[in-house]
A and B are shown apart, each in its own frame.
Chain A
Amino acid sequence: AQRVTQPEKLLSVFKGAPVELKCNYSYSGSPELFWYVQYSRQRLQLLLRHISRESIKGFTADLNKGETSFHLKKPFAQEEDSAMYYCALMFSGGYNKLIFGAGTRLAVHP
């Protein structure tokens, strides 16, 4: 069965420290993975997707098929990065379906 696992509910770091939010997935097909972010009092929005291989707000994520992981990284955390981060897997079941991990709350302290 398809599954997305985010093992950490809360990640607390100081400003300027590196950040890695972990995401592992289970899917027998070819995965398409996303990171969504929800800032306080804002709606859920796309941060980045693996096929774009882009860096958004200093965040990057590399798909590792061998380890079935899609960890989100940023070398130097900023206070404005504090938010809820969700890893998501899209797969085709006759139509595209997006399933989410449980989410990790990132708290960046000054």
Chain B
Amino acid sequence: SAVISQKPSRDICQRGTSLTIQCQVDSQVTMMFWYRQQPGQSLTLIATANQGSEATYESGFVIDKFPISRPNLTFSTLTVSNMSPEDSSIYLCSAQRGTNEKLFFGSGTQLSVL
């Protein structure tokens, strides 16, 4: 199994600012994913981050709003840019060692935007 450390665990931010969320995996993984879980809703995939290439974004999510970095096989960041109250959500990172392997999840970042 893999252990994912995600930080910060929670933050309260002002409108118009940006927050960078970090995920560190204790072993090398092929793929990392970023999800959003809005209040009372399910998890929605934001993007897939592969090392050495640009992230692939899902419909409704753009790089300018959610820039992602994946500098190596154990680390990724997601930035929520120019935040508004609608961005208040839980953001989760997950990792997968290889195709058809199960996903491991970080503990999540609870973001509140005032």
Contacts and interface: CB of A to CB of B under 8 A. Distances in A.
Question: Mostly helix, strand, loop or mixed at chain A's interface?
Answer: strand
Nearest to B101: A96
- Chain A interface residue number, banded: 10 to 19
Contact of A44 (B41, B44, B92): B92
Contacts of A95: 31, 48, 50, 56
Most chain A CB inside 10 Å of its own CB: which residue of B31, B43, B48: B43
Contacts of A34: 102
Question: Mostly helix, strand, loop or mixed at chain B's interface?
Answer: strand
A101 B42 contact: yes
B108 A96 contact: no
Contacts of A46: 102-103
Interface of B: 31, 33, 41-45, 48, 50, 56, 92, 94, 96, 99-100, 102-103, 105-108
Interface of A: 32, 34, 43-46, 49, 86, 90, 94-103
30 contacts: A32-B100, A43-B105, A43-B107, A43-B108, A44-B43, A44-B105, A46-B102, A46-B103, A49-B102, A86-B43, A90-B100, A94-B56, A95-B31, A95-B48, A95-B56, A96-B31, A96-B96, A96-B99, A97-B45, A97-B48, A98-B33, A98-B94, A98-B103, A100-B42, A100-B43, A100-B44, A101-B42, A102-B41, A102-B42, A103-B42
Given A44-B43, A86-B43, A102-B41, 10 more contacts: A43-B105, A43-B106, A44-B92, A49-B102, A86-B42, A96-B31, A96-B100, A97-B45, A101-B42, A103-B42
